[in-house]
């Protein structure tokens, strides 16, 4: 397997892992009324979720094709999600007492953060590798 394909596969694997944690975390957020906490109706929250998963699917396809835009987009997405989840859940998830469903909810939130970190690392590596080739 060539080096380009290896980098592409790493980004795809991290993106799929993030999609799994992201879907579970999103369901958890809706069950506990997070859209309302952010001033959103459930309908608007659901529409934003469709846009989010559509964007992540597009970026995954681009990364699978070895496209620099897919790598850069996944890098940006990962950085955004790290900042958003740490801002929203960091302190409450680490230090607060009982939190939603306990360990399961924390695992979803921190799974998103850790999968986002992995996505940032491999996307940056893939983008640099592809950029060095051109």
DSSP character string of 103-130: HHHHHHHHHHHHHHHHHHHHHHHHHHHH
**In whole angstroms, what separates CA 113 from the centre of its chain?**
7
Give residue 32's pLDDT.
Answer: 86
Give residue 1's pLDDT.
Answer: 60
What's the pTM value of the predicted model, to 2 decimals? 0.88
Torsion over CA of 17, 75, 128 and 63, rounded to 10 degrees?
Answer: 50
> Rounded distance, CA 120 to CA 125, Å?
8
Give residue 34's pLDDT.
Answer: 84
Residue 121 domain boundaries? 3-133
Q: What are phi and psi of 120, to 5 degrees?
A: -60, -45
Q: What is the mean pLDDT of each run of 10 residues along the chain (134 residues)?
A: 89 96 92 88 94 96 95 97 84 62 82 96 95 73
> What is the total count of domains within the chain?
1
């Amino acid at each position: 397997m060539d080096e380009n394909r290896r980098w592409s596969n790493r980004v795809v694997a991290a993106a799929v892992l993030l999609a799994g944690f992201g879907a579970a975390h999103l369901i958890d957020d809706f069950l506990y009324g997070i859209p309302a906490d952010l001033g959103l109706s459930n309908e608007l929250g659901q529409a934003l979720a469709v846009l989010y998963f559509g964007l992540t699917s597009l970026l995954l396809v681009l990364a699978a094709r070895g496209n620099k835009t897919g790598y850069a987009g996944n890098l940006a997405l990962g950085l955004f999600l790290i900042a958003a989840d740490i801002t929203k859940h960091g302190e409450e998830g680490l230090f607060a007492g009982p939190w939603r469903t306990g360990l399961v909810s924390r695992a979803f939130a921190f799974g998103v953060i850790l999968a986002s970190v992995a996505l940032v690392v491999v996307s940056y590596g893939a983008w640099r590798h592809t950029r060095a080739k051109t």
